[in-house]
Structure 1
Amino acid sequence: MKIQESAENYLETILVLKKKNGVVRSIDIANDLGVSKPSVSVAMKNLRNGEYIEMDKEGYITLLDKGREIAEKIYERHTFLTDWLTSIGVDPTVAAEDACRIEHVISAETFSAMKKTLKTK
């Protein structure tokens, strides 16, 4: 099942914040993404309903297996594309912004071929 780009961004953000802080709550996501708390609340409800995340009674968010799979895929694409764009001379801020857009639309086949080709050079 294909999920929306915004949901992929939320899942990726949860993964990154968990790695950085050890725990994740909705307020952390809102602050990191620069979105409102109500927007995060709606997104977390949708992700819970889709069984991508779970939230405990204290509001701590954990990725479930299928949420983690998507988050790790998007994060890998983001870091790889950012690094590659930076290596060819793109400003790091622009590279990160462009990678964020590309990571959602690039096919698995194209990304795999890019990784294979660029890692052998």
Structure 2
Amino acid sequence: MYESRENYLETILILKNETGSVRSIDIARRLDFSKPSVSRAVAILKEDKYIEIDENGYITLTNKGEEKAKSIYERHKLLTKFLAQTAKVDEKIAEEDACRIEHIISDETFQGIKNFLKNVSK
């Protein structure tokens, strides 16, 4: 999956958790993207069965979409924590870097970081 589509799914999940409902305009505002760009991305996510859109324009994640979004968000949160704790960088910088890394890191490396953080927390 493309990084941009992963970002959309993650944003939908975050908005849903924050506000309870999500529309295309909410995504456009959060990501500071144009409405036409968001409409195109949303159409692709719907076509690929990651989201559903009701008659009022409210967007919900399908099971497939929610699973993918939660996976991306978990990577984001754990990588942010890892970078802040191990590299001792500012939380904002750690979060920005984690946002880029989460899309390219291998499952094996991510699992290693996840295990590392579990062991450090003990």
TM-score by length of 1: 0.95
Give per-residue Cα distances to partners, 1:76-105, cap 9 Å, x unaligned: 000111112122311111111100000000
Question: Aligned AA for 1:20?
Answer: E
Q: Shift of residue 118 of structure 1?
A: 2.1
Structure 2 SS opposite 1:79: helix
- 1:41 corresponds in structure 2 to 39
Structure 1 unaligned blocks of 5 or more = none
Structure 2 SS opposite 1:75: helix
- 1:59 corresponds in structure 2 to 57
Mapping for residues 16-35 of structure 1, pairs under 5 Å: 16-35=14-33
Give per-residue Cα distances to partners, 1:53-72, cap 9 Å, x unaligned: 00001000000011111100
- 1:97 corresponds in structure 2 to 96
Question: Aligned AA for 1:112?
Answer: Q
Structure 2 SS opposite 1:7: helix
Structure 2 SS opposite 1:62: strand
Are the equivalent residues in 1 in contact too, given 2:82–2:113 (CA < 8 A)? no
Question: Partners in 1 of 2:74 and 2:54 — Cα distance?
Answer: 27
Question: Partners in 2 of 1:51 and 1:99 — Cα distance?
Answer: 26
Question: Aligned AA for 1:117?
Answer: F
**Which consecutive aligned stretches of 4+ in structure 1 deviate over 2 angstroms post-superposition?**
none
Question: Aligned AA for 1:40?
Answer: V
Structure 2 SS opposite 1:71: helix
Q: Percent identity?
A: 58
Structure 2 unaligned blocks of 5 or more = none
Q: Shift of residue 113 of structure 1?
A: 1.3
- 1:69 corresponds in structure 2 to 67
> Which of 84, 87, 100 does residue 85 from structure 2 map onto?
87
Question: Partners in 2 of 1:116 and 1:86 — Cα distance?
Answer: 16
* Aligned-CA RMSD value: 0.8
Question: Aligned AA for 1:84?
Answer: F
